[in-house]
Amino acid sequence: MPFPIILSSPSGGGKTTIAHRLLEKRRDVGYSVSCTTRPPREGEKDGRDYHFRSLEDFRRGQRAGEFAESAEVHGHLYGTLRSEVAKVLSSGKHVIMDIDVQGAKQFAAAFPDSVLIFILPPSADILVDRLKARGTEDAESLIRRFRSAKEELKAIDFYQYVVVNDRIDSAVAEIDAIIDAEHSRRSRIESLEPLIVELEDGIQRAIDLYSKRK
């Protein structure tokens, strides 16, 4: 059964790049394109990076129950559409989401089989450099992101896995391995009970047979 995979990190953790690399690497993973009221950055495409919505339209969607979760992040609204999640899961793929910690908590409450992964930058200097390198933020919004990065770190206990994004290749490989390992989680294995019953019956038959030969 496909499951949701939530990636969260403080801004500058590198989760968006990781999500894209995973999508290139694994055919069993699809992406849920979020909605936001944030204006598009240069190079961003509506429907690919985000569904860009007006505040009014976003609010309407909230009232209509279109979102599996929604939250205000850095002064803008972001939300995961139920329809996006359903589309990916029903195609048989795991759905990967790049969402903030408030959204992760809401989403995991609605989808308890979610895998929760927190991505950490290897150092504060690197986090600051990554945020500055974007070159799209003025000082005020950078400070806002630094503050919320500090705040987001506090939510780490909520996550099942932590990946330090020192080298992108190894961070992607680690998440790749987490997804593989999650396939073997007992609660995810379909038809486990009949298989166990069949094994027990077979073993019992062997016990009976060998007992007669004694």
With CA atoms as reference, report the closest residue to 8 among 205, 163, 138, 147.
163
Whose Cβ is closer to ligand 5GP: residue 57's or residue 201's? 57
Select the residue whose beta carbon is closest to ligand 5GP and give its number: 103
Rounded to 5°, angle at Cα 146 from 145 and 149? 85
Whose Cβ is closer to ligand 5GP: residue 11's or residue 165's? 11
Least distance from ligand 5GP to the Cβ atom of residue 167, Å: 21
For ligand 5GP, the binding residues (CB under 6 A) are 11, 34, 38, 69, 71, 73-74, 78-80, 98-100, 102-103
Least distance from ligand 5GP to the Cβ atom of residue 41, Å: 8
Count Cβ atoms within 10 A of the Cβ of residue 56 and give its class: 0-12 exposed, 13-18 middle, 19 or more buried: exposed
Least distance from ligand 5GP to the Cβ atom of residue 179, Å: 19
Which stretches of 100-181 are assigned E, i.e. beta strand?
A: 115-120, 161-164
Whose Cβ is closer to ligand 5GP: residue 73's or residue 95's? 73
Span between the terminal Cα atoms of the chain, in Å: 45
Q: Residue 198 and residue 214: Cα distance in Å, rounded?
A: 25
Whose Cβ is closer to ligand 5GP: residue 20's or residue 38's? 38
